[in-house]
Amino acid sequence: MAPEWPPAVFRPRRTIRPTREGWWCLAIAILLGLTSVNSGNNLLYLLESLLLALIIVSGVMSEQSLRGVRLRPLLPDAVFAGQSVMLGAVVRNAKRRLPARSIALETADGARVIAFPWLGPGVEQVAAWPHTFMRRGRQRLPGLRLTTRFPFGLFAKRGRVRFEQEVIVFPSPAVVSDGRLHDTQGGDGIAARRRGRGHTLRELREYRPGDDPRLIHWRVSARTGTTVVRELEAEATADVRIVLRGTGARDPRRLERGLSVAAGLALRAAAGGAAVSLAGAGVSVPAGRGREHAHRILTALALYAPAEAVRADAPAASAGREIVVDLD
């Protein structure tokens, strides 16, 4: 990796740029200074000194306002490539006695996120802004710029804030149809029947404390003289094993499409309560259920690298239900 240039020691912590009013102030100061030298008038020297003092005071007070402001990033639960996501940060004034005035947050392209007219000592505020990560994988959070025009609006002083935290960007999940989800290889295709909140009637039984009163079957209860409830069957989905075929080293576009399809399959199957596993050259995630397990599969897909897959062995064949996703 090439070193950064210029080195950090030569890069200023703050940048300062005159506003439109600031340019007028500088122009007047230069003209007044030239007039003072040519005429030798003491009153003009006094006015020149006042203008220069105004510029110095502006720089000192703006630095005091920015100093001590700290940012702590807030990360969303899931980030998908190509989809806008809300990033956040906790803005804290770490100074003990002095407030931070007229503080604004800007993105790297200059778009203003939020402005804080007054941030008292030790006070925290939350800022949020939309951002889109265009590619999957491990990526560093985008930095921000702290800016202020305090106190006179003559100069805009900015300081860069770089976050060290990284975020795992999942592949953009493709829309998966029911036909593709059930188009599996291997297995008998029979899903396990279990109690749950589905729409299929499993059986009728006597009421138990804690049962949902909405499930009481009033007609049968009136005929038998016993409170009877309907026990429903969960919307069962057969367990799924997603198999990545190939390495994706030949065509990067097809690789990304395949990973998107695999991500869509994993999310759709996990949402239906299925146990999902992932297998492929260089990647293996055992079967599991739930949102956290789906995130483990998405993380494996986000960090998938063709170079590592080429050096790894292909997955062993399995007798379980499989959905094959081509990467080549």
Residues 260 and 227 in one domain: no
Same domain? For 145 and 261 the reply is no
Q: Is residue 6 part of a domain?
A: no
Residue 153 within a domain: yes
Q: Give CA torsion, residues 286, 292, 297, 301, to 10 deg.
A: -160
158 shares its domain with 271:
no
Tell me if 5 is assigned to some domain: no
Asked if 105 and 34 sit in the same domain, the reply is yes
The secondary element (H helix, E strand) that includes residue 264 is helix 252-271
- In three-state secondary structure terms, 24 is helix
* Co-location of 31 and 150 in the same domain: yes
Same domain, 213 and 104: no
Number of domains in the chain: 3
User: Whole domain around residue 35: which residue ranges?
Assistant: 11-170
Q: Phi and psi (nearest 5°) for 259?
A: -65, -35
- Are 228 and 136 members of one domain? no
Residue 125: helix, strand or coil by DSSP?
strand
Residue 2 lies in a domain: no
CB 289 within 8 A of CB 274: yes
Query: How much is the pTM?
Result: 0.72
Note whether 149 and 182 are same-domain residues: no
Do 184 and 316 fall into the same domain? Answer: yes
Q: In terms of domains, do 165 and 16 share one?
A: yes
pLDDT of residue 143: 87
Rounded to an integer, what distance in angstroms lies between the CA atom of residue 65 and that of residue 18?
17
**What tokens appear for 287 in the block?**
């079967």
Rounded to 5 degrees, what angle do the CA atoms 136, 142, 147 make? Answer: 165
Dihedral pair phi/psi, residue 300, rounded to 5°:
-60, -40
Helix-helix angle 291-302:252-271, to 10 degrees:
180
Q: What is the pLDDT along the chain (328 residues), one digit of tens a residue?
A: 444 444 444 445 788 899 999 999 999 999 999 998 888 888 999 999 999 999 999 989 999 999 999 999 999 889 999 999 999 999 999 998 999 999 999 988 878 888 999 999 999 999 999 999 999 999 999 989 999 999 999 999 998 888 888 999 999 998 876 655 655 444 444 344 455 555 556 677 887 887 777 778 778 787 888 887 877 655 545 678 898 988 888 888 999 999 999 999 999 888 878 889 999 888 889 988 888 999 999 999 999 988 776 655 555 555 447 888 888 7
- Let me know whether 25 and 121 are in one domain: yes
Q: Would residue 287 count as lying in a domain?
A: yes
124 and 31 co-located in one domain: yes
pLDDT at site 282? 82
Q: According to the model, what pLDDT value does residue 309 have?
A: 62
- What per-residue confidence (pLDDT) applies to 238? 62
Cα(211)–Cα(132) distance, integer angstroms: 45
User: Which residues does 235 contact at the CB level (< 8 Å), separation at least 6?
Assistant: 196, 198, 199, 200, 272, 273
CATH number at residue 84: 2.60.40.10
CA–CA dist 21, 225 (Å, integer): 87
Is 106 buried (19+), middle (13-18) or exposed (0-12) by CB count in 10 A? middle
Between CA 135 and CA 138 the distance in angstroms is 9
Q: Is 157 domain-assigned?
A: yes
Cα–Cα dist 256/302, whole Å: 10
Does some domain include residue 4? no
